[in-house]
């Protein structure tokens, strides 16, 4: 069982020992640290924090602990109840709140939960802010309010609807053509809040929706990471109901993947590629994704005369570079769409609306659409090293060896060759180097990964 404290929040498994798992005491401790940090940010009388959760079995318990901790600090809480990560992100500025907390462990299994922390813009905290909260949590400096100054909790169930309205109002979301196309779509909501939000959005767009695993009870019917091997039910349903395509999201609805009309994966990496293709065709500009995302986004961006740049892995790093480069769309290859016209956070609702607008615009099937994009294949492997080895030194040797190639070293070492690339990253918690590769065929991607595993082992053993 595990408790992971990082700059992006705290996540862990429910139950077990305090300090080693996400126990009630740990939830209170880190909620209190966040509340203390919120009150440090500005000198004001009233503080407000938006709190929402996915449908995990532990969600209600953790949310009540978090909300009442904030109340004990004199902070008013807007309780969204069952919600999505992007919905909470949208709600924070709408409420003129000082921050937000989402109770979700994203794609992790049901025994996990987490506190994801937002600033007053509804965006994830940066490294400096996250480190400060971890520091506060280990200090004895947290103060609580007296009995006459306690906060209060206000329930607001409207925000999924408000979020949908915000998506439908986006200029590039073409509601009428989507309605006229009369799409039939199967939705796999992995028995979490995507089973609420995605069908509601589709129904507002005139889509014929078939729901599977859309009961928000937290009993995930399959591994909640939206990968091909977990989605046999969706594939069978798409074919059975002769749907135009299938949609699957992760439990907190910030990752999005599609399945074509034949029950085949569109490719999670290509969710962003397709949405960017549509946005760039209407509003040419620049794009950003992280270093481990497909090169196809670069190709599509350059087709429209824009510039592409890769950030370090991590949503906060993607957003920072997106703002710097004034991009029109960006995100991550794990199905995370970040569309600044809406907000700076991964949002499956925005992704669904843009994808439907693209299909209505092109009037082709999803399988035909996929054939219009460059074909790349990825391999994701890792090498475990003994704890005494200096991982940084090993990566430095690789960097020196390939110094005449196109190198990026802002997050491990990425080497861009002419027809493929390799990205080597060390784990922050284990003596592991992760190896990501992409090439024109799966065999070439696997071969490139195996080659670098061999080179890393040779350096480690030298």
Provide the token pair at 339. Answer: 């569309």
**Dist. CA 230–CA 251, nearest whole Å:** 14
Beta bridge partners of 101: 51, 117
- 355: buried, middle or exposed (CB in 10 Å: 19+, 13-18, 0-12)? buried
**Dist. CA 198–CA 271, nearest whole Å:** 16
Q: Which of 326, 340, 210, 228 is nearest to 275 (CA)?
A: 340
**φ and ψ at residue 34, rounded to 5 degrees:** -65, -45
**Dist. CA 268–CA 361, nearest whole Å:** 21
Q: Which of 90, 29, 291 is nearest to 9 (CA)?
A: 29
**Dist. CA 161–CA 200, nearest whole Å:** 8
What is residue 228's DSSP assignment? G
**Dist. CA 198–CA 348, nearest whole Å:** 8
Q: Dihedral through CA 400, CA 401, CA 403, CA 407, nearest 10?
A: -90
- 202: buried, middle or exposed (CB in 10 Å: 19+, 13-18, 0-12)? buried
Out of 106, 235, 292, 379, the active site residue is 106
**Dist. CA 56–CA 389, nearest whole Å:** 39
Provide the token pair at 168. Answer: 């439908």
Beta bridge partners of 67: none
Give the helix, strand, coil percentages of the chain, each rounded to 5: 40, 25, 35
Residue with the two structure tokens 């609807």: 161
* Residue 235 annotated as catalytic: no
Q: Give catalytic residues, as residue numbers.
A: 106
């Amino acid at each position: 069982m595990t408790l992971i404290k990082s700059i992006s929040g705290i996540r862990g498994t429910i139950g077990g020992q305090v300090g080693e798992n996400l126990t009630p005491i740990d939830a209170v401790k880190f909620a209190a640290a966040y509340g203390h940090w919120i009150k440090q940010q500005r000198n004001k009388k009233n503080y407000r924090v938006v709190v929402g959760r996915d449908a995990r079995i532990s969600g209600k318990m953790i949310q009540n602990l978090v909300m009442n901790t904030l109340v004990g600090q004199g902070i008013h809480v807007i309780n969204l109840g069952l919600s999505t990560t992007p919905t909470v992100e949208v709600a924070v500025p709408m409420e003129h709140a000082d921050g937000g907390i989402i109770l979700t462990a994203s794609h992790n299994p049901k025994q996990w939960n987490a506190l994801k922390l937002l600033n007053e813009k509804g965006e994830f905290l940066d490294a400096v802010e996250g480190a400060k909260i971890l520091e506060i949590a280990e200090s004895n400096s947290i103060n609580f309010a007296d009995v006459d100054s306690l906060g209060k909790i206000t329930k607001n169930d409207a925000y999924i609807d408000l979020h949908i309205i915000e998506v439908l109002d986006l200029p590039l979301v073409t509601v009428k053509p989507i309605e006229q196309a009369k799409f039939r779509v199967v939705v796999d909501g992995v028995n979490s809040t995507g089973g609420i939000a995605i069908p509601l959005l589709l129904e507002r767009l005139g889509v014929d929706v078939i729901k599977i695993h859309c009961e928000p009870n937290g009993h995930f019917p399959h591994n909640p990471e939206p990968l091909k091997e977990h989605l046999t039910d969706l594939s069978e349903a798409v074919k059975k109901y002769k749907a135009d395509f299938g949609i699957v999201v992760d439990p907190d609805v910030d990752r999005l993947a599609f399945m074509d009309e034949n029950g085949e994966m569109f490719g999670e990496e290509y969710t962003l590629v397709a949405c960017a293709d549509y946005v760039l065709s209407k509003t040419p500009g620049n794009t950003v994704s992280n270093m481990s995302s497909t090169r196809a986004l670069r190709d599509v961006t350059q087709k429209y005369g824009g510039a592409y740049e890769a950030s370090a892995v991590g949503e906060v790093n993607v957003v920072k570079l997106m703002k710097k480069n004034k991009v029109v769309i960006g995100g991550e290859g794990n199905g995370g769409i970040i569309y600044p016209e809406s907000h700076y956070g991964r949002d499956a609702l925005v992704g669904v609306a843009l994808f439907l607008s693209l299909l209505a615009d092109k009037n082709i099937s999803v399988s035909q659409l996929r054939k219009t994009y460059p074909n790349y294949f990825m391999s994701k492997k890792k090498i475990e090293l003994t704890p005494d080895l200096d991982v940084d030194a090993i990566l430095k040797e690789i960097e020196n060896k390939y110094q005449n190639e196109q190198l990026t070293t802002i997050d491990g070492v990425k080497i861009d060759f002419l027809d493929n690339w390799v990205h080597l990253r060390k784990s922050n918690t284990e003596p592991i180097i992760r190896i990501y590769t992409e090439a024109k065929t799966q065999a070439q991607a696997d071969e490139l990964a195996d080659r670098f595993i061999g080179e890393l082992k040779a350096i480690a053993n030298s």
